[in-house]
Amino acid sequence: MSSLQHLDWHGARLAYRFVPGTGPLLVFLPGYMSDMTGSKAEALSDHARARGQAMLRLDYSGCGASGGDFLAGSIGRWTDDALALIAHVWPQGPVLLIGSSMGGWIALLAGRALEARLAGLVGIAAAPDFTVWGLKAGEAERRQLEAQGFFTRPSDYGEPYRYSRALIDDAPDHLLLDGQIAISAPVRLLHGQQDDAVPWRLSLDIAARLTGGDVQVRLIKDGDHRLSRDADIAALIATALELS
């Protein structure tokens, strides 16, 4: 395993693992309250090392092994974190972004910023604009947000999710589903049809809004939100290889 490294960036110590190699650089972007140690990220890292391809895994500020306050994080901040780490380890050359759930939103924003350097993008249950379609706060949650600056919801994957004022206030500046998404690089959107967190039809909406022509949505009929079974990970690796 590559050693854990850090970059000081805007008051936070960002944690990352970098495997040197040939391009395009694979970059794994985790989901909400997730980190770089998940099974998909680990499998992609092993795949990259085996074929001598460069790979970057990272934790956003306030997440995983990175420093900073999670409740100060936001879509804009975490996108900037990812772009700063890409610039640090891979200042030039092609980049292949792979984003899981919220990481798919960040991948789309970062991919747009990378412009011609973007070699391709893979979304895994990509969840752009989830603050609009998936985060309507109830009355009790609004009171909690007002009182303490965040509200909580249960999670099937560990500790309860915390949604902060910083996240909610920042998100409108980064919405993507209200217009075209200016990405011309190849895009593959993987989505399980048994996903109970992100509607699989959202991937069709993303595909329709991308300006490039080389866009495919790949539905896994019995797949759940995580798509972390052996067969799902094999499909993810094959997709990354296809775009590399």
Domain CATH for 140: 3.40.50.1820
**Nearest-angstrom CA–CA distance, 159 and 153:** 9
Domain count, the chain: 1
**pLDDT tens, per residue, the chain with 244 residues:** 679 999 999 999 999 999 999 999 999 999 999 999 999 999 999 999 999 999 999 999 999 999 999 999 999 999 999 999 999 999 999 999 999 999 999 999 999 999 999 999 999 999 999 999 999 888 999 999 999 999 999 887 778 999 999 999 999 999 999 999 999 999 999 999 999 999 999 999 999 999 999 999 999 999 999 999 999 999 999 999 999 9
Convert 89-100 to b/e letters by CB count within 10 Å (16 or more is b): bbeeebbbbbbb
- Give yes or no for a contact between 24 and 244, defined as CB atoms under 8 angstroms apart: yes
Catalytic member of 34, 61, 66, 101: 101
The question of whether 225 is a catalytic residue gets the answer yes
Catalytic member of 47, 174, 191, 225: 225
The token pair at 226 is: 């995580």
Which residues form the domain of 187? 5-243
Which residues are within 8 A (CB) of 77 and not within 5 positions of it... i.e. 6 or more apart? 10, 60, 61, 166, 170
The question of whether 178 is a catalytic residue gets the answer no
The phi and psi torsions of 80 (rounded to 5 degrees) equal -60, -40
Q: How far is CA 99 from CA 68, 105, 139, 169, 240, in A?
A: 22, 7, 32, 22, 11
Report pTM: 0.96
The question of whether 155 is a catalytic residue gets the answer no
Catalytic member of 59, 81, 129, 195: 195
Tokens 């991937």: give the residue.
Answer: 203
Q: How far is CA 24 from CA 92, 109, 118, 119, 158, in A?
A: 10, 18, 9, 7, 33
